[in-house]
Structure 1
């Protein structure tokens, strides 16, 4: 395994503060996608000191308030229907789809948020989105996060939830879905589950996955300042999350894991403006080289994690995910599932 000696003493560089480089959206995109790409990135609070845990609390609260402002009002109204349970320890939110239900199958959803953000009520929002689009009974883990609970706390929670699901469902009836930081935890969790002799899930969905906390990929430079959803690099948060462990540890940056053909079929999704595009490209190649059934889907001009969740392009992403899930569950008939309008 490569070492990450320079990470221990490194400080955020001036490059991490680069201003946005606006590029006109392609005219062939939907109106909603063009509107998002034309919106300048909102000002973000500066990263606190990595050695001062308490200073991160106001940062987390400020960023979470911003995420709440972007909630789909229709989904927000349904959040009271979300239930909670304890899956082997961690709190989990549960939501059921209202239509096109896939009986007997479940999704384990791991929320995004740079491994530090979008916990609590924002997990309830995540589980509603995933259940609505996937058609599956969905569990979303409110996993522990820094500054007070760095690695491996969050990964432990995700694995505990998966182990608990295995008590009620067969592995072949479970799909694990992770977006951004959740993609990191999803890939790490499956790697660790296999290492510990547990059965792999039927499939894995990684959307704009944050699988390389060393941030060594090409698009951390080429798309920096172009991705207006993720306009900053996350190295200060990455170091706080790692808690002194090497950033290239395979359970911290699963891109550097030892993949084998035991890894489940994997759907990897990104966009040409995504800061994490290199993450998606690289993990797809590693999976293919290991003999894993892996798909890579890249959308034109899409920034990190999509166009806000309501555009036609976002629906295309979910249509492809549903096709992948149907194949993993053994129900694919070779045709794309019918597209559904966001509710």
Structure 2
């Protein structure tokens, strides 16, 4: 673990940027920031369709292991695309040898909740036509981590077979923004504050009850019978308690759950695998979790 590396990542995230004037400028700025993160070698990409949505297919060059990672990109349900998450999907593909299919779900504010969850369930439903659920994992980062969990929850409620595993990197699981870490980590988090998140979650939720299980699963979801779950977070993020409380809720429901918290790293630190040793180590652990649970 390197203090110098952690300080470098913190400084990158704290660099001043022009305030965006609209959603399109926010999206362009997010894409530019994500483009700085390295994409690993040894992968290839193509496009396909699942549930009427475009997916970016990421595959290893060479031998491919059975299994599919259905991935949901981050970006506060408003920003991002499968391409902005390629450093993460590529890292998982390179480490597991499995393919990833990254869903280009509909984004808010043009398409508020439940559009993204609907797209996730539809993509999963179509994937089940060709893939054994025991060889599927739902994975995502930030808002995509929320979608990985809520897609699995909606699929379960719809009577679909459960995937083998769910993995979330710095997931957002309480859209009431009531976690203690919203206050205690505000100065340490270089990415978010409660005040920054409030308008973003408002655009996604579209006036819905914020305690809805598909918006705040850490507060109200019934996780009985849920698949194995890995939740990774850093101690320097205001969303830390979202993962902590969801893990506690899952454990109380008898779910095989791993809560993996790394010290002194920020939101979705795994994206900095080319800079930060802790990021690479966390991705190694996520890949091992997937390999152990996807038969």
2:71 is the alignment partner of 1:71: no
Provide the residue aligned with 1:309 in structure 2: 273
Higher mean alpha-carbon deviation, 160-169 vs 251-260, is at 251-260
The structure in which a higher percent of residues are strand is 2
Provide the residue aligned with 2:252 in structure 1: 289
Describe the SS at the equivalent of 1:178.
strand
Provide the residue aligned with 1:213 in structure 2: 175
Structure 1 runs (4+) deviating above 4 angstroms are 44-48, 123-126
Asked which structure has the greater CA Rg, the reply is 1
Distance 2:3 2:143 in 1: 27
**CA-to-aligned-CA distance 1:146-183 (integer Å, 9 cap, x gap):** 12111111111111111111001111011111111111
The structure 1 residue matched to 2:189, chosen from 227, 232, 239, is: 227
Q: TM-score, normalised by structure 1?
A: 0.78
Describe the SS at the equivalent of 2:269.
coil
The structure 1 residue matched to 2:211, chosen from 239, 243, 248, is: 248
Provide the residue aligned with 2:48 in structure 1: 85
Distance 1:178 1:40 in 2: 20
2:8 is the alignment partner of 1:42: no
- Stretches of structure 2 that go unaligned for 5 or more consecutive residues are none
**CA-to-aligned-CA distance 1:174-228 (integer Å, 9 cap, x gap):** 1111111111101111110000001110011111111111111011111112112
CA contact (8 A) 2:145 2:171 kept: yes
Q: TM-score, normalised by structure 2?
A: 0.90
Distance 2:89 2:49 in 1: 15
Provide the residue aligned with 2:163 in structure 1: 201
Assess, with a 3 A threshold, how the Cα gap between structure 1 residues 306 and 120 changes in structure 2: closer, same or farther: closer
Number of aligned residues: 292
Provide the residue aligned with 1:6 in structure 2: none
CA contact (8 A) 1:47 1:59 kept: yes
Describe the SS at the equivalent of 1:122.
coil
Report the RMSD for the aligned CA atoms in angstroms.
Answer: 2.3
